[in-house]
A and B are shown apart, each in its own frame.
Chain A
Amino acid sequence: MMGPDVSWYIVLSGFLFTTGALGVLLRRSPLIVLLSLEIMLNSANLALIGFARHLGEHDGQIFALAVMAIAASEVVVGLGLIVAMNRSNVELDVDKLTTLRG
């Protein structure tokens, strides 16, 4: 099998996962937060595909395809919510979403 070793894929996916997580933690715009979540899911996809290739099996790749579909629908719901918030004149800042607390 050609190409880099599987560990490279894992390191890369781990890096992406951390990047995504930091994005969710640090960014204030819900749009960017959604984007970061996508990065996290896709890092897992990368790991799945890397492993599948390494193991010479297909099920990891099928899994990744399913995850893509799910990630897409999650984003759709998230964007819908953001649009609804925008319409109700709620400021698009996750730090301002603190009416529910305590």
Chain B
Amino acid sequence: MTTPAVDWFALSPTLALLAAAGLALLGSVLVPHRATRVFSAVVCALGFVGAGVAAGLLYWKSPNATLEVADAIRRDRFGALAQIVLAGVGFLAVGISYAQRVRRDHIGEYYALLAAAGGGMVFLVEAQNLMTLFLGLEWFSICLYILCAIEIDRVGSLEAGLKYLIVGSFGSAILLFGSALVYGATGALEFGEIAAAIEQGSLQDDGLVLAGLAMLLAGLGFKASAAPFHMWTPDVYEGAPTPVTAFMAAATKAVALVLTMRILVTAFPAEEDLWTIAVAVIACVSLAWGNIAALVQRNLKRMLAYSSVSHAGFMLIAIAANNELGGRALLYYLIPYSAASLGAFAVIAARERELGDRVTLDNIGGMGWERPTLGVAMWIFMLAFAGLPLTGGFVGKFYVFAAAYDRGWWWLVIAGVIATAISLYYYLAVIRAMYMRMPAELRLAPAGGSPPREALLSASVVACAAVTVGSFFLVEPLIDLAEKAASQLPF
């Protein structure tokens, strides 16, 4: 038996982030105490830049999809485009995190874990067999468990970490058991071989395959926080440090959905009639649950958590469509959605640091006037979430609906439109709260005066807003990229 050839280029985004993680960890030991924050943040940001550049090159140089490293990963544009999005998310997350009050001796670890989680994610979107799938999933999940709980002096943070860990491990165990069942039935780990084995052995009705598929779906739905597997989401989003929440909301969901599409399309084309319906139903449940639960939330982080559940529903519509249009729609949707999520949580983080308290609809009042840049940006993000024009959210929903319609599932389109209408209520409530209430009405709880305005955070927010709006105006090139990427999946 020979050692498999390793395509280092295909792994380069992962390697860049792993190197950054290692360096940041080393830095927390070797670099003088005063400089650890700057050092580790810069190293982490550079890691994400490196990963983004590498992923860009990978996209450019992979006109044809190939299986690499003993067929464990698939080097294709679908993965590369997702990697670019993830690298962007990670980079901006560094800017948002910079001024977060993390205990000084944890700063190096914080950025190391951020880079490592990013590494796991960019690895995972290339995964092409059940083993790399599980490894990648756990890789970034474990990093996130720690990140959630990194503010160990705060009970909420610890609680979020432990809840995420336990429910997450439970989900992983389900996913792993499902993988084992599929492996047992087909004798294959690689997605393409699984599809071939099901096809050749006529295993469509095999109990092991069916149960395995269901468990895989549940495990992935958990990571994407699709209802009814979403229940951890609001608690963890609320308890985790806000920059971590921002990163999770954008990146975890992106990874989980991209992977769901990849595995379903590549490994289970023979079960298409089953999983498309299942995904469509999960999408509808997510839309309904996420939107309805968001209606009564006063805590902004919880509200956005439920909103992220409903957006998982929108993106699942694209997956349920099971066509190239759906692939294109999913990849495009991720761009404005990630930018808007990151940005919205960043604005919340800014307010949180001002008040030293959790941000609710009541105490965000007047922020639009006090910090006009952040106010306008938040406005943009909410419009993007609601899918209104002049933001990429509009185009994203348009493409998602187009994909569902193309499949002939107009009822999914109707569900999506109703969900959009409901969501306007709570998204606009945020804008109203920011602008329509005078600060005089408020009982502010300032934490020792107003903190200095953070240039990095503002810059990240502006960048997010620029992406959100820019993705509307630059639809054509972006959708072109997404189309090329989606065409490499075997629809």
Contact = CB atoms under 8 A, between A and B. Distances in A.
Whether both chains belong to one complex is answered with yes
Nearest to A57: B187
Interface string B128-159: 00110011001000100110010011011011
Contact of A63 (B130, B169, B302): B130
A63 B131 contact: yes
B298 to A, nearest CB: 9
A24 B130 CA distance: 25
A34 B239 CA distance: 21
B146 A44 contact: no
B285 interface: no
Interface in A25-45: 30, 33-34, 37, 40-41, 43-44
Contact of B189 (A17, A50, A59): A59
Contact of A88 (B131, B153, B163, B177): B153
Given A24-B166, A37-B170, A77-B142, A67 B158 contact: no
Contacts of B152: 84, 88
A6 to B, nearest CB: 8
Interface stretch (B44-52, B178-186, B450-458): B178-186
A88 B155 contact: yes
Interface residues of B, number: 42
Contact of B239 (A17, A44, A94, A100): A100
A51 B166 contact: no
A70 B138 contact: yes
Given A37-B166, A44-B177, A85 B158 contact: yes
Given A70-B138, A77-B142, A88-B158, A47 B181 contact: yes
B483 interface: no
Contacts of B149: 81, 84
B160 interface: yes
Nearest to A50: B184
B221 interface: no
Contact of A70 (B130, B135, B166, B180): B135
A66 interface: yes
Interface string A67-81: 100100110011011
A8 to B, nearest CB: 13
Interface residues of A, number: 47
Contacts of B299: 102
Contact of B183 (A34, A40, A60, A90): A60
A57 B129 CA distance: 15
Contacts of B156: 99-100
Contacts of A51: 180, 183-184, 187
Interface in B296-330: 297, 299, 302
B274 to A, nearest CB: 22
A81 B158 contact: yes
B146 A77 contact: yes
Given A37-B169, A70-B138, A85-B162, A54 B184 contact: yes
A31 B183 CA distance: 31
Contacts of B352: none
B88 to A, nearest CB: 27
B5 to A, nearest CB: 17
B478 interface: no
B187 A55 contact: yes
B162 A81 contact: yes
Interface of B: 130-131, 134-135, 138, 142, 145-146, 149, 152-153, 155-156, 158-163, 165-166, 169-170, 172-173, 176-177, 179-181, 183-184, 187, 189, 234-236, 238-239, 297, 299, 302
29 contacts: A21-B170, A24-B170, A30-B166, A34-B166, A37-B170, A37-B173, A41-B173, A41-B176, A47-B180, A52-B183, A59-B131, A62-B131, A66-B134, A67-B134, A70-B138, A74-B169, A77-B142, A81-B161, A81-B162, A88-B152, A88-B155, A90-B159, A94-B162, A97-B159, A97-B163, A99-B155, A100-B238, A102-B234, A102-B299
